[in-house]
A and B are shown apart, each in its own frame.
Chain A
Amino acid sequence: MTARSKPTHSETPQERYERLKAEGNGQSGDFATRQAAARNQDAHAIDASSVLFDDVVPAKGYWHGRLKRGDGLRLVAKTSTGVAASFWRSNETSERFNPGDTIKVQWTSVITTGRVLLSDMGRAMVSITHDDFGRSDCLAGVSLPGPADGPDWQSGRAHFLRTALKNGLTKRDVGPCISFFAPVAVDAGGKLTWQDQSGSGPFTVDLRAEMDLIVALSNSAHPMSPDRYPLPLSVTQFRAPPVAEDDLARTGTVEARRAFENTDALFGDRKRLS
């Protein structure tokens, strides 16, 4: 493992911030290289014997399920209209996905292969182990009920509300989310843009649960997607392969390592992978 930059003297908070920012921006460290290598790999073949659940979510439909720590969730989208996702910790649902921490802590709004989805309690809920689309959105959220796309019950927000209510949660548990297959960026003028995708589908995102989770997915079009017609989404829950010692999400950045230290402590794991 490449050594992280270390302070050569007692750092001021400013110095530490600048050092972490340089690493976070790829000016030092090897995350960018490792991520590029991981992105070049094909999605692994899922052994049939490891499949726990398999479904197809229709256009403008939704899905919710419970993952155990170590489960994988494969999403295969035929098109890039976006798939919104949100997460709660199963046995303490007040702990939930926090996109603000996720992008701030990882120094980027490009949350893709090798990145983690953080909870509001400084823990890794999910690792993104594969993402051949390469772009997701933590900024703009989902569609509200309204005239745009058809019946109110097919809006992303209505999907998440129903998934919350079916899992013992309430409206106030429905907070900000992430959308996969959603190429949202900020342009030089500070405006949100939907960047044209390169290449055609299908696109695969593999997620790995790092704690027991409630997962909600919405297969309605992202509010910024110019294409308003989603296609059916394949969802497969499976037992993921054992985590390698050099797992990118676990070891790629100093921040992620610490998030996993916080996460593993839930399970009595004091062993640190490196």
Chain B
Amino acid sequence: MSNRKYTKNHEWICEHDSNFHVGISEHAQNELGDITFVELPQIGTEYKQGSVFATIESVKAVGEVYAPVDMKIVGINENLESNPALVNSSAQLDGWLVEVEAMVPEQLNGLMSAGAYIAFISASH
């Protein structure tokens, strides 16, 4: 999806129907290793950009997931309760975490495009 944007904390956000899907990047799932548990927020909760809205546990680590923009949760990926490994196998598609309303859409302009994100992760490794 050419309109997918990325954050420095390895989240992505992209349009989905009239809202947005948010998840973690392929790079992030690879760093975490085998994911065993995903804690998702309550529907209706609002998060400011940069605040923690979800927790992902792998066998070796706990990762916090940060809101890429000011957002309100309108849906969660219920498949992740029984199949958290979906985030490993399909981080950027079936492993989406939440569906959100972007409360300040202009904030998307400040996020990285796919090309910029790839350059960002190459530079830090």
A is bound by B: no
Q: Which residues of B are at the interface with A, using a C-beta cutoff of 8 A?
A: none
